Amino acid sequence: MRFVSFSSVLTLGFCLLGNGCSKGITRATAATVFFVRGNVSFGDVERNDFRPVTSESKIHVGDVVRTSDEASIDLALIPGVFLQVSGNSEVKIEDLKLTKDGNETAGGVLDRRASVRLNRGRIVTSFSESAKNASQFGITAGQITVRPDSDCLFSVWSDGRSTRATCGRGEVKVCVDAEPPMKIAAGYFCEWPTASREPNVATADARAQMDIKNALDVELELLDQAAGWQNRRVF
């Protein structure tokens, strides 16, 4: 009887120490501010409680970020997801979570997820997915949701009535209501509402060309800031 009891305790101990019997621990996190230009604020829309963004601000799920004309903010949502919110934009953070191995005191990230809603303006995103740490990310604007389909660089613009998604590198997947997803490869764009089910070549549209040029310029800046951020081991 004692042997059985001891074996049970020993088995439980191995389950607690081993990866096979443990479950990941999910926790909410906050976006990290890389850089702020001009007048940028964040806060709670329902309470009309907004305050200026600084380099020390932590932007959480439910917060809305607003940029004035000529302003912008560079953010790290989760590892591998870096973005710039351009001037005269409004973005809401809808999801921001990390799932870690419960037995790990450092590292051990099992899953990373983030999602934002673009109410108006422009977001440029640089996305890099680690082979070891799964990432889920999406930008919703109007009736569409844009998700990376590979390591990629892309831009999403909306004025609240129409929305344009442009891919500068890699490939993105666009979901529109219950329709099958549309894939947009590098150098292509699509604008909604539209009856077309095929993306268009960016070189045929001056706005899409500017989307790509702006995204390429922004990516250099984001990756430079991300290198210093990773060295600080925020996560």
| pLDDT tens profile 155-185 | 999 999 999 999 999 999 999 877 889 999 9
Six token digits for residue 149: 């389909």
Cβ-based neighbour number of residue 19 at 10 Å: 12
3-state secondary structure of 185: strand
Q: Dihedral angle at the C-alpha atoms of 130, 133, 134, 136, nearest 10 degrees?
A: -80
Does residue 234 contact residue 56 with C-beta atoms inside 8 Å? Answer: no
- Residues 6 or more apart from 31 whose CB is under 8 A from it? 58, 59, 60, 75, 76, 77, 93, 96
CA 137/CA 129 separation, integer angstroms = 10
Q: Along the 235 residues of the chain, how does pLDDT read in single tens digits? A: 444 444 443 343 434 334 444 456 877 789 999 999 999 999 998 888 899 999 999 999 999 999 999 999 999 998 889 999 999 999 999 999 877 665 544 455 557 889 999 999 999 999 997 644 557 899 999 989 999 999 999 999 999 999 999 999 999 999 987 788 999 999 999 999 987 889 999 999 999 999 999 999 999 999 999 888 766 654 4
Does residue 165 contact residue 172 with C-beta atoms inside 8 Å? Answer: yes
**Closest C-alpha among 100, 99, 97 to residue 81:** 97
CA 78/CA 28 separation, integer angstroms = 11
Query: What's the pLDDT at 134?
Result: 54
Cβ-based neighbour number of residue 234 at 10 Å: 11
Query: What's the pLDDT at 217?
Result: 96
**Closest C-alpha among 163, 158, 207, 203 to residue 182:** 163
| pLDDT tens profile 181-216 | 999 999 999 999 987 889 999 999 999 999 999 999
Quick one: DSSP state of residue 45?
A: T
Q: Which residue has the tokens 């926790």?
A: 27
Query: What's the pLDDT at 187?
Result: 98
Write down the domain spans for the chain. 22-231
**Closest C-alpha among 138, 148, 197 to residue 173:** 148
Vertex 176, ends 171 and 181: CA angle to 5°?
Answer: 45
Which CATH number is associated with domain 22-231? 2.60.120.1440
Q: Phi first, then psi: give them for residue 212, nearest 5 degrees.
A: -70, -45
CA 137/CA 96 separation, integer angstroms = 9
Written as one letter, the residue type at 11 is T
Beta bridge partners of 142: none
* Confidence (pTM): 0.83
Beta bridge partners of 155: 124, 166
